[in-house]
Structure 1
Amino acid sequence: MDTYLETERLVLRRFTADDADLLIELDSDPAVMRYLSGGDPTPPEVIRERYLPNILAGYEKWNGDLGLFAAHEKHGGAFVGWFILRPAPEGALDEVELGYRLRQVAWGNGYATEGSRALLDKAFTELGVRVVWATTMSVNHGSRNIMAKLGMSLVDTYPTPSDVGVIEGAEHGGVRYEITKAQWERQATGAGSRRRRWRPAVA
């Protein structure tokens, strides 16, 4: 396993060319895709021919330091979904997006917060990142609560793009949250040693 980082309960690794079925299964759940496509699954051929090749190309572009990472439970190895830590297309390497997509069976376990917090720590201590940002739909209160729990602040709202299909709550637009390295350092200092709960992978 090409491990990227570990938390108390999760292992994040780089995807491989053999992982298309994991992504297809994840994107086939209407509940998972509720705020992304209105519940419609991502066509398998799109995942095999576009999404997965783009993920693998990202590792080459960013030397494996940034991108989309598969998450598995340490106990049993079950695939729980993925996390993302990468810049916008053609964006600066010190401004990166944080996000995740988890299988429904993994919801409610605190995995989204645990994995996201580990990625924030890695971004600000190892990768030279200055700002981490995240977006979601305004009505997606679950994700918004996690962003707030991570210490991220609401910095902007925006209308839903006109080319987006029928998605519940789309008329309320989206939101953008951010956290800077300075803000994270203040939180880390206040929380003491409890903040560093991830272990870097051995190269």
Structure 2
Amino acid sequence: MDTYLQTDRVTLRRFRADDADLLIELDSDPEVMRYLSGGEPTAPGLVRDRILPGLLTAYDRWAGAFGVFAAYEKAGGAFVGWFCLRPEREGPLGEVELGYRLRRAAWGSGYATEMSAALVDKAFTDLDVRVVWGATMALNRPSQRVMEKVGMTVTQTLPTPEGMQAVEGAELGGYRYEITRDQWERQRAVRL
């Protein structure tokens, strides 16, 4: 399965060339896309021709250490969405984005928090990362709660991204959350 990371309930693996339908189905749910495109689905051709090939190329670019990974329930094997841990395209490898997109059926299950915590731990223990960051819209409280639960804090208020003016709540902008290796180590020491 080419496992990248496992928690008690979720397994992450690399996407494969035949996974386009999973991404198309995920991005066709208006609620999943609410804070990304205003509920508009991602065009299937875009997924097949650009998005999925870009995800596959990124595994080679970062020698498999970073990327966007398909998430599956360990019990039953259902596809639940994806998680990413990746630097910006031309950015430093020591600063990586944490992100996630889950099928609506997986919302409220704790998967986002469980896997995000595991990815933050992996970033600081295995990948020599200095900062893990994530960004979300001001109205997206569920995503903010996930980042807060894994120890991230708001470091910046973000303006409305270009092209997202029509998305609900876009006028409120968003937030950049971060956790540094030092912050993570202090929080870990308290937990232990």
TM range (shorter): over 0.9
Q: CA deviation at 1:165?
A: 4.6
Q: Provide the residue aligned with 1:191 in structure 2.
A: 191
1:90-109 residue pairs with structure 2 within 5 A? 90-109=90-109
Corresponding residue SS for 2:177: strand
Corresponding residue SS for 1:144: helix
1:1-203 residue pairs with structure 2 within 5 A? 1-192=1-192
Alignment length (residue pairs):
192
Query: Following the alignment from structure 1 to structure 2, what is the Cα–Cα distance between the partners of residues 46 and 162?
Result: 19
User: 2:165–2:171: 8 Å Cα contact kept in structure 1?
Assistant: no
Q: Scaled by the length of structure 1, what TM-score is found?
A: 0.93
- Relative contact order (C-alpha < 8 Å, sep 6+): which is higher? 1
> Gapped runs of 5+ residues in structure 2?
none
Query: Following the alignment from structure 1 to structure 2, what is the Cα–Cα distance between the partners of residues 167 and 154?
Result: 22
Query: Following the alignment from structure 1 to structure 2, what is the Cα–Cα distance between the partners of residues 173 and 29?
Result: 23
> Gapped runs of 5+ residues in structure 1?
193-203
Q: Deviations over 1:131-158 (max 9, x none)?
A: 0000000111111111111110100012
**Stretch of structure 1 that moved more, 97-106 or 164-173:** 164-173
Q: Scaled by the length of structure 2, what TM-score is found?
A: 0.98
Amino-acid identity (%): 64
Which amino acid in 1 is paired with 2:66? L
Q: Report the RMSD for the aligned CA atoms in angstroms.
A: 0.7
Corresponding residue SS for 1:120: helix
